[in-house]
Amino acid sequence: MMRQYELVERVTAYDPNADEALLNRAYVYAMKAHGAQLRASGDPYFSHPLEVAAILTELKLDDATIVAALLHDTIEDTDTTRAEIDRLFGPEIGALVDGLTKIKKLDLVTRRAEQAENLRKLMLAISQDVRVLLVKLADRLHNMRTIEHVPPNKRQRIAEETMDIYAPLAGRMGIQWMRDELEDLAFRTLQPEAHKTVSERLEALQESSARVVSEIESVLTRKLAERGVTATVQGRLKKPYSVWRKMDRKRISFEQLSDILGFRVVVPTISDCYRALEVVHTSWPLVPGRFKDYISTPKQNDYRSIHTTVIGPQHQRVEMQIRTKEMHEIAEFGIAAHNLYKDGVSLNGHKPDALESNAYQWLRRLVELLHEGDTPEEFLEHTKLELFQDQVFCFTPKGRLIALPRGATAIDFAYAVHTGVGNAAVGCKINGRAEPVISELHNGDEVEIITAEGATPSAAWESVAITGKARSAIRRAARDAIRSQYAGLGRQIMIRACERSERKYSDERFEPMIQRLGQSSLLDTLAAIGRGEIRSDDAMHAMFPDFREERKKNQPVAAREEGSGWFGLRKAMGMRFRVPGRKEASSAVPIRGIKGDLPVRFAEGGAVPGDRIVGIAMPGEGITIYPIHSPRLKEFDDQPDRWLDVRWEIDGETQRDRFPATIIVRAINEPGTLAGITQVIGENDANIDAIQMINRSGDFTDMRFDLEVWDLKHLLTVISLIKALKVVNTVERLNV
């Protein structure tokens, strides 16, 4: 375990002005606070925060961050309080320790929602001070270095979490050596046999390539010196996980990999980088398509370097990375090399020089997602998407550079320009040619987004877009569109309710009443009425306190006897539903909200009790009942007079009728598949009206089942049980 004076010497070696007394106090305080606590390895618990602090000295962080590392577990694991930390070490360090304390251990796999929520907490803590992230990464690195002492089941979760979140997060912050080590430790834990095999192959390759490496180092160093360029040339092999990932992604063997061997050329200036590139390309043949200039267009984590691949001695492909010493420091230490941690810089109140850091800006954009109304699970999904992607660089017609993940489409480009541009996009031009907005973009593409006033994004775009920002905006726009549709329905319901009581509806009169109904805005209130969460009677009573009494006084006697204005089809209308393809029900289906002697039927696909339903008056045909999620309702958006407010009014204890619902099942083509599906349906008290094979391919068949079920809960149970069958790929309810 590192001694007190050794830690102080490490810090003062790179920061002579560090507060030695502060470091000494923190060392002694943390050691006493953790006392006799032990780690799973049997070592004193204090060895952990001490090692975390030691890791941070490798990043040359300030004394406040080192102190926070020493104290980072005291509030959570000892009797120490935030007030005591503030009193002894100051509010700046207290805030850092408190920020780390609030971050609970993420619980991948078993509790996805909890993992997502805690990732949000991590990002919120980082938004106050980026040093929280640096301490957290060092904390995870030391835990991974000692993971063999953790129980196997817990070890698996920690390694998966490290591979999914912390390693790519370290990469996004530009701390490449930490990312490499985290990935290697997680890879060794998750796939020990694969790690062992790849490592052994790399060791053997290193021995066999020693002569080639030495030859290239000496030749390149000599040729650069002849051009007046002082350079450090160092050969290296790819890391085991990097090799394994490429083998897995490209489905190739170790022998088929062509660029395992690489060289790093470090030179004094940017102009020397391009002079070195000339020497490399005139010394060995260039491999076409393998040149990347990250100096002119840096990566999002501030990484800058020139990459090229050449055919070296013995006809081996060799990757060359050419950079300056400053670029090399940023490549290794990332965000810590920018000194952004000085003076407690936050993502919300950054200093001017922080604007130079793309990694810092990426963090800020990620934090902005927290305030855009996404669920924790959506935020986790978006964060992972952003963490794992390489980049392509595209341009607007005015020359603005837009960096996007590899595989991004014009949709992602539109939302990267501005959310409003993405929402209004109707087409695009790529390099001057009209192309679909789902077209994949490539390096150097010039993209012009065509917009239209009043346009809204298609919900299907969400499955095409790959950036978190685009998916979040599309999902949010879809929610807003649905809310607007419900609000439109709610407004028509209120207009009709007012007409029935010989009153006039207006938004201005209704708006002051929304707080009485527990809502925050007029649109939310009308949408709640449209969804059926607020009864029109309750809304009318909020507007007109005498509404109930007046309505009751003016109602026909027969109607009052049927329940104060709510009508059952059998008693109040004297008729039953007639559903195409079904025998007439043995008793009437009660529906409330429809008056008059009109025939009533369900739309194709059916509706079941539990669905929010609306009635559409069909001239000469009666009334058709649709579930509120039916896409067919869009046909009637501009015909509000035909919309009727209807509700189920069914007593579950006396209900004797099943209701129509249609599902589409995609299943594997093999004997017994259909029998297994029908058995599940029959065993769970559902009835099959018809079966149709609607699409058949070599491996799968799409089947349409017209069912009769009791209600929505019954239907969802049947769907989930069918979906659980091994031969079934997907099950979807048909909405038409």
**Active-site annotation, residues:** 76-77
Per-residue tokens: 228? 């007046």
* Nearest partner of 317 among 246, 221, 389, judged by Cα: 246
Per-residue tokens: 360? 């810092």
CA within 13 Å, CB half, 113: 1
Q: Which amino acid is at 409?
A: T
Give the separation between CA 76 and CA 97, rounded to whole angstroms: 10
Per-residue tokens: 624? 């058709």
Give the separation between CA 94 and CA 83, rounded to whole angstroms: 8
Q: b or e along 690-701 (b: 16 or more beta carbons within 10 Å of the residue's beta carbon)? A: eeeeeeeeeebb
The beta strands (E) that lie in 671-726 are given as 687-696, 700-709
Helix (H) or strand (E) holding 331, with range, is helix 325-333
304 alpha-carbon distance from chain centroid = 27
Which residue has tokens 């599940």? 680
CB 703 within 8 A of CB 693: yes
* Burial environment of residue 95 by CB neighbours within 10 A (0 to 12, 13 to 18, 19 or more): buried
Q: Which amino acid is at 103?
A: I
SS3 564: coil
Determine if residue 605 is left, alpha or beta; phi over 0 gives left, psi from -120 to 50 gives alpha, anything else beta.
Answer: left
SS3 25: helix
Q: b or e along 168-187 (b: 16 or more beta carbons within 10 Å of the residue's beta carbon)? A: bbbbbbbbbebbbbbbbbbb
Give the separation between CA 457 and CA 471, rounded to whole angstroms: 11
Length of the chain: 736
Please give the span between the terminal C-alpha atoms of the chain, in angstroms, as a whole number.
Answer: 69
SS3 590: coil
Contacts 24+ apart (CB under 8 A), 282-286: 283/219, 283/220, 283/223, 283/310, 284/310, 284/311, 284/312, 284/318, 285/310, 285/311, 286/310
Furthest C-alpha separation in the chain: 108
Cα–Cα distances in angstroms (integers) from residue 684 to residues 326, 709, 720, in the given order: 69, 10, 11
635 φ/ψ angles, rounded to the nearest 5 degrees = -65, -20
Cα–Cα distances in angstroms (integers) from residue 123 to residues 376, 522, 562, in the given order: 12, 33, 57
Instruction: For the beta carbon of residue 207, count every other beta carbon within 10 angstroms.
Output: 9
* Burial environment of residue 211 by CB neighbours within 10 A (0 to 12, 13 to 18, 19 or more): exposed
Instruction: For the beta carbon of residue 249, count every other beta carbon within 10 angstroms.
Output: 8
Give the separation between CA 213 and CA 167, rounded to whole angstroms: 29
